[in-house]
Homo-oligomer: A and B are copies of this chain.
Amino acid sequence: MENPDKTRLKSATLRRARGGSGRVKLDEVAELAGVSTATVSRAFNEPEKVSEAVRDRVMEAANALNWIPNAAGRALASSRTHIAGAIIPTLDNEIFAHQISGMQSVFAEHGFTLFLGCSNYDPAEGLKQVQAMLARGVEALAIVGENHPQELFDALRSRKVPYVVTYSYRQGSPHPSIGFDNGAAFREIVEHLLSLGHRRFAAIFQPEANNDRVKARLDGMRSALAKSNLAVATGDLCIGTSTMEFGAESFRLLMNRAADLRPTAIVCGNDNIALGALSAAAEMGLSAPMDFSITGFDDLTISSRLMPHLTTMKVDNQEIGVRAAKSLLSVINGDVTSPISVELKAQLKVRVSTGPLQRQ
């Protein structure tokens, strides 16, 4: 008889004066299906070990009761949580949002749920978030950059939680990383500008404190300039918040000078800052590449649409997220013992905001 007998159903349905969480539990599904709890568990987790007839009966019962397994019970019994974590500085930046979006879709496909933490560029906050995630039993973690308290990495290591550093890749880093070489990227930008004949450089950057990526970018810029015996003068280096406002403000500072004191090339720490500078330029009646050349970094969606189209470096952050998730999953599945580092190349997008030196 395929028909589950009515009396059993009734007894399971009526006995609803339950304590605890108040939710339907596996026992009740087992009772209704007329099997043991072990069988219900197997029907869901190792279906091939259960005969088809029984499996169908279990599924039917589970549906009838609208049962959703309790993840806490499952986690406790199996020491598997199917949760992964990601720590990023902030969601207010398109590039990190893209990374999360990539990770989340891959993880969701594999039955993992993603915990999100934002550090707001505060290492202490990042550590706190990681601890919260460890308490929640994340099975793997992705974290942007390597500029974090040693304690954070120690905690991950001592609990054997696999992790990858995302967004930045550095030769000789002690951490598995998936990202690109920030220094090399900025060397390439500077070389592009040098090849156009520029010699007087200014820079507008976000703060380098607690941010290995910005440090590497500044270093990359400086080393490329140094090769040509050039440097950014103190007065031509602006450091401030990563906002369009700051970009605009800095641009005014740099360009409200006699023509021969102005920089001809302006290297910005990211697109956002560069976009701000360009908006100030428009207001001042200056325009690239006639009056100056300017570069960004990130290739935000808007950067290739805005006039003048911004010369910048493109990084596929979604791809970074996808790769990070896949890599972590393969460690979780035991395919490899540790995530393998991958260096992606940032791609120089030469657009109209840079051009040959106009004034000598």
List A residues at the B interface (Cβ < 8 Å): 20-23, 66, 68-73, 75-76, 79, 81, 83, 90-92, 94, 97-98, 100-101, 104-105, 108, 113-118, 128-129, 131-137, 155, 158-160, 244, 248, 275-276, 279, 282-283, 301-302, 305-307
**Known contacts A136-B71, A136-B113: A276-B305 contact under CB 8 Å:** yes
Question: Given that A79-B20, A92-B97, A282-B307 are known contacts, is A70 also in contact with B137, CB under 8 Å in the complex?
Answer: yes
A78 CB to closest chain B CB, in angstroms?
A: 10
Residues on the B chain within 8 Å of A83, using CB: 136
Copies of this subunit: 2
Q: Which of A131, A135, A276 has the most CB of B within 10 A?
A: A135
Q: Within the complex, which residue of B91, B113, B132 is in contact with A101, where a contact is CB–CB below 8 Å?
A: B91
24 contacts between A and B (CB under 8 A): A20-B79, A22-B160, A23-B159, A66-B155, A68-B131, A69-B135, A70-B76, A70-B137, A71-B135, A71-B137, A72-B73, A72-B75, A72-B76, A72-B81, A73-B76, A91-B97, A91-B101, A92-B94, A104-B118, A108-B117, A108-B132, A244-B301, A244-B305, A302-B302
A79 cross-chain contacts in B, Cβ below 8 A: 20-21
Q: Nearest B residue to A69 by beta-carbon distance? A: B135
**Of A92, A105, A275, which is in contact with the most chain B CB atoms at under 10 Å from its CB?**
A92
Complex contact B100–A91 (CB within 8 A): yes
Residues of B within 8 A of A129 (CB): 108
Q: Which of A70, A118, A133 has the most CB of B within 10 A?
A: A70
Closest to A307 in B: B282
- Select from chain B the residue with minimum beta-carbon distance to A243: B301
Closest CB of chain B to A123's CB: distance in Å?
Answer: 15
Contact of A132 among B113, B276, B302 (CB under 8 A): B113
A306 interface neighbour in B71, B72, B92, B279, Cβ under 8 Å: B279
Interface contact B136-A275, CB-CB below 8 Å: no
Shortest beta-carbon distance from A210 to chain B in Å: 18
Residue of B nearest to A281 (CB): B307
Of chain B, the residue at the smallest CB distance from A111 is: B132
Which of B75, B115, B135 is A68 in contact with, Cβ under 8 Å?
B135
CA distance in complex: A301, B283 (Å): 17
Bound-state Cα–Cα, A155 to B118, Å: 29
A23 and B75 CA atoms in complex are apart in Å by 14
Asked if A114 meets B116 with Cβ closer than 8 Å, knowing A76-B72, A244-B302, the reply is: yes
- A145-B275 Cα distance, complex, nearest whole Å: 32
Cβ–Cβ < 8 Å partners of A244 in chain B: 301-302, 305
Which residues of chain B come closer than 8 Å to A114, judged between CB atoms? 115-116
Complex interface: chain B residues within 8 A of A307 (CB):
279, 282-283
Q: Is there an interface contact between B92 and A98, defined as CB atoms closer than 8 Å?
A: yes
Contact of A76 among B76, B91, B160 (CB under 8 A): B76
- With A and B bound together, what is the CA distance between A160 and B73 in angstroms? 19
Q: 18 additional contacts, CB 8 Å, given A91-B91, A113-B133, A244-B301?
A: A66-B155, A68-B131, A68-B134, A69-B135, A70-B137, A71-B136, A72-B73, A72-B76, A72-B137, A91-B97, A92-B94, A94-B94, A97-B97, A114-B116, A115-B115, A275-B305, A276-B305, A279-B305
